[in-house]
Amino acid sequence: MIIAEQITRFQINHKLLALLFCYLSGALATLAFAPYGYWPLALLSVVLWFSQVHQQSARRASQLSYAWGFGYFSFGISWVHVSIEQFGGMPLLASLFLMLLLCGYLAIYPALSGWLAAKLTGQNKVNLMVLAISWLVTEYLRSFVLTGFPWLSIGYSQIDSPFAALAPIMGEVGISVMVMLSCASLCLLIVKPKHKLAIISLVLIAVSLIVSPQFSFTQSTGDSFTTALVQGNIKQELRWDDEAEQNIIDLYINNSSDLYKDHDVVIWPEAAIPRVEPLAQETLRYVNEQAHLNDSSLITGIINYNLENRQFYNSIIVMGNKSQGDDKGGYYFGNSNQYSKHHLLPIGEFVPFGDLLRPIAPFFNLPMSSFSRGDFVQTNLQANDIRLLPLICFEIVFPNQLSANLRDHTDAILTISNDAWFGDSHGPHQHLEIARMRALEFAKPVIRATNNGLTAVIDHHGQIIADVPQFTESILSTSVNKVSGQTLYGEYGKTLHKILVWLLILCFVARLWQLKRRSNKQNTENS
């Protein structure tokens, strides 16, 4: 009774006000992510949410959790409407509606976690420790259902916090779990200052944060390579304009002509060449020759068309030297030293139920929105003896794909993107923040080449070592240090994920069996 009275002091009794409180609490978490970076607000946001759902029924917990999730996503990914309105041919109100529709879908996952936490507690009342674990299950679902949209996972907000030290050991997923368990423990201590499980959890988490920075999984090889990233700053509306096509190609060629002699590899962003690869052979052969004559190489994004299966791919190709001292440039149409994007962005790169949706609005018929998938596992790119693990745009959000393609000889992670779709919003900043987390998880430098920013090079500690201003035509020239070795997460991350998932499934099954057995026993005693 005393505990119940303490709980009610922190909970809002008015149903609508409680929902509004949770919504605003979720919105608060946006300030924890880039470009703001006030990471403690992520913990505060979750504690405020937990304070309202603690000991609530399954139905009420799901309502409050949905409100929190809706606030979390509607502010956190509000940048989605920019591409819909400006480049999708839809009015502002329609673009906002579609954005909120997406946020409404994503909010289902925290709502489900609240419902599960109540059902699995046994008395149809939310247990916060159970909620933290239920949340992990629903986040796992969010990462692959409907091809997955794991954007804004709470661990990313901690890239500059003490929790970041856990990334090489347990990845962003592990950081997220630690954050949620910390918030559950803090909330329980507010309710009951001597809560033993909460105290033990916080002590163990604190110890892990103190010990984790002492581990070092990789070391510098002493070798490095030089790279130049060309940021063309091409306006999105000109990307597929036939009249601007040659001007765009000339811009990249002219900006790169003096770079080859001083750089091992020059990099252009996603789809920098606005011409399908089979139709760009004259340009590609010229660039291939120029890079080779200067003992350099060039990597660019381009749209490929497979003549055999008649399908389009969002691809990366390498021109110039594949290895140092090559007697000719290594590029020719159809060569194997290329990469095709696997994780396609829904609507932007493929349209589910396209035959039904495309006639509805121009938004569902964006340029280049009918791509085919590349293989999940592909070889690293080789440019001037530099091995690069390639990812295109949205793919940097999927650590499992990166892990599947990581090799002992991988020198760096290369991600190319075109964030012009999202204008001057916080979307590109969040994108860069995710890239920083990948660098820290796998202790590999990340090279990020974009059309209009944020173009940057990140070291294996997740720190930005060089960048150029957004919305400028710029060249980023820098040296990238090579490292050897693999992090614990990089080596065993896939296995850890599988073990964690199966442990959770077994725990849930065991809990359901226990609840069923208890219910049968009570029914027997009552009869």
Query: For residues 224 and 417, what is the distance between their CA atoms, to the nearest angstrom?
Result: 24
Using DSSP, state whether 166 is helix, strand or coil. Answer: helix
Determine if residue 124 is left, alpha or beta; phi over 0 gives left, psi from -120 to 50 gives alpha, anything else beta.
Answer: left
CA distance 179 to 201: 11
**Residues making up the chain, counted from first to last:** 527
Q: Is 270 a catalytic residue?
A: yes
Active site residue 525: no
Q: Name the maximum alpha-carbon separation found in the chain.
A: 90
| Geometric angle at alpha carbon 22, from 18 and 26, rounded to 5° | 170
Q: HEC states along 446-470?
A: EEEEECCCCCEEECCCCCEEEECCC
Pull the structure tokens for residue 315.
């691809």
Active-site residue, from 85, 139, 172, 270: 270
The H or E element containing residue 436 is helix 427-442
Q: Is 393 a catalytic residue?
A: yes
Residue 358: φ, ψ to 5°: -55, -40
**Number of H-type helices and E-type strands within the chain:** 16, 12
d(CA 237, CA 428): 18
Token couple for 307: 């003549």
Q: Which of the residues 22, 85, 183, 341 is marked catalytic?
A: 341
**Which among 22, 183, 187, 393 is annotated as catalytic?**
393
- Give the H or E element holding residue 185: helix 167-191
CB 69 within 8 Å of CB 111: yes
Percentages helix, strand, coil for the chain (3-state, rounded to 5) are 55, 15, 30
Strands 311-320 and 338-340: antiparallel
What are the catalytic residues? 270, 341, 393
